[in-house]
Structure 1
Amino acid sequence: MLSNVLRRATVVVIDDVPANLRLLQSSLHTMGLGQVKGFSNSAEGLTWLQQNSWDLLLLDLDMPAPDGFAILEALRDRDRSAQQVILVTALGDAVSRRRGLDLGGNDYLTKPVDLPELLLRVRNCLDLSFAHRLLQQERETLEMRVEERTARLRDSYQAVIRALARAADYKDNETGNHIMRIGETAALLGRAIGAPATWVELLRLAAPMHDVGKIGIPDHILLKPGKLTEDEFDIMKRHARIGHDILADSGRSSLLELAAEIALNHHEKWDGSGYPGGLKGEEIPISARIVALCDVYDALRSSRPYKQGWSAEKAQAYILSQSGKHFDPAGVEIMAGLFDEIEFIRASLSDP
């Protein structure tokens, strides 16, 4: 293992005394090092270090500018575990040692150098450098695998969510694109109110499940073409709690908790006349207030077998007229500034 490390290593020597430089280079070659770069001009050596990959630097401190201390300062942002530095210098006083090590030196040897000791320290530093690189590579590989698996799980999770939402909407003569539009439009409003990006993404995924409770409503009521009787409408209103109950048993899933909150409250109205809880104003969760706006607007604009979709102008006028009644006034104001973008979403996710 160590012989492979030596063959693969790139070691740089910077010493302004040519005789010292040749001695160090020849000694390193005897170790079987694959590549040894030597510089008697410290400025050239620093430029090479900054532009190339290397593993170990043997650095003199007492040199014409830039001296070793200046080189250490210039390399202060390097990974000190992967790119190690042995200070090889005649400056053996305690102040110089402390300064050199504080600026980023990993080891310190004073001249005249005991070559066997130097070679042992070179081996140790290279061994540590390559062990660190190997751990870093393994960590990056592990992180990549975790990210890939997380992405696969997230994709599977989202596919199940979309299937569940589509099941409810197909039962109600809605379309798969309808639920996608609700998600994208809700996310658009979420971003516009300045909500955190993580919450906006949860809203985008949760909003399409707002009507999942319709799975529990009998077809003769859900699909009735005419106006519902009072008793039938009472049954229809149960879909909000059914949806909540389906989604709320979700353990620690923040996504399904948000979806359950939306399913329960998206038919509440700002003036308190909604259902199932008769909540009023800011008692209604912001997520449900956003989805209510998106759902009603999309429903008005959409054609179905039993109705013709409204024009954009008519639907937008209705939304504005319901400010402070059905809808949160602040939400209506924000939506009004986004009508063009909402229509773009509708066009890009139009019904077949």
Structure 2
Amino acid sequence: MSNRAYKVFIVDDDPSSRLVSSFCFKSAEFEVVQLESGEACLAALDQVPDIVLLDIEMPGLDGVTTCKAIREAGLMSTQVIFVSVRNDLETRLRAYDAGGNDYIVKPVLPDELEPKVAVAKHVLEQQRELEERVEQASSIAFSAMSSAAELGTVLHFLQSSFASHSVAGLNAALADALNQYGVEYILELRAGGESVCFSGQGAATQLEKSILEHVRLMDRIFQFHDRMVINYPSITLLVHGLPIEDETRLGRMRDNLALLVEGADSRLKALSGQVLLSRQARGIGDAAIRLSAALEVIEQEQATLRLNALCVMDTFIAELERSFVHLGLSERQEALLSDMARKAAAQVGGVLSQGRTTTDHLHEVGQSLRHLHAEH
């Protein structure tokens, strides 16, 4: 993985806002450039920023127009995080249509900005990793022209794998590559806590699955006669029919098959992450639904409790005042007792009303959960 610092543009016409935002980029892994306008940002694009923290409300070119120009300039991998005083859907949709990657509402707080920067870094790291893998594959291709066709199979698979959004799709890309090598195979793909076994003829048989269970415990790469096992955390591949009579071609095939499996393993890890995010999003949605249902029950119970309590206090005060004729109290004593009873009733009502504040806070939590689920 490259150790190159992340180039960060902070684009805002307010110097104090730029200064506050820059506090999140103090570590050596960031190289920060502060710019006061959209025009200045576009003029500096030759520096190729990795992350752009872009204010929307600026004189001259606003943030949305600036983002469109960034994308039109070919900087599609640059992570654009919009900053705005607005928190309405229309502004967010404009930011999305312009090619933005994230959105944060002013004032910018480190606790809110740092997680968004972490997400942007993760995306950039994946892009750098992909670029480095492509560079490595290209280097191999140029250094071994005699194996151009076999390396072409590897490169085609890597391209196809990143276009695959399911285990079945990745298996289809792997099957196409392995068939071009003319070998028989069985493999196990593991993603999202589940495993699926395939062979060159389709779904693996029970016997083939039992074989995979045993070879999964072998070394990373293990060859015996014309068979070879390749193990990675997310994939196990067993091939047979290797050209053991041609040592040179056999060596190339070992290397290329290892590259195929390593690329498949990387893609399976990404798919596992997507599955996890989907599960988390569903969990958030379910939690929001359960919270809303619980709040409805709580509010109904609180309303009934308030009503019953007030009725009890009213009945108590009425009975207390009716009992005065039998207690032989002075008018001043009766008035004092009535006043004390009414104050107590008011205090009870106040205590019961505090529950509304709690439910209001819980409603805000539920709304936040729904927004988070919608973002996924």
TM-score, with length taken from structure 2? 0.36
TM-score normalised by L of structure 1: 0.39
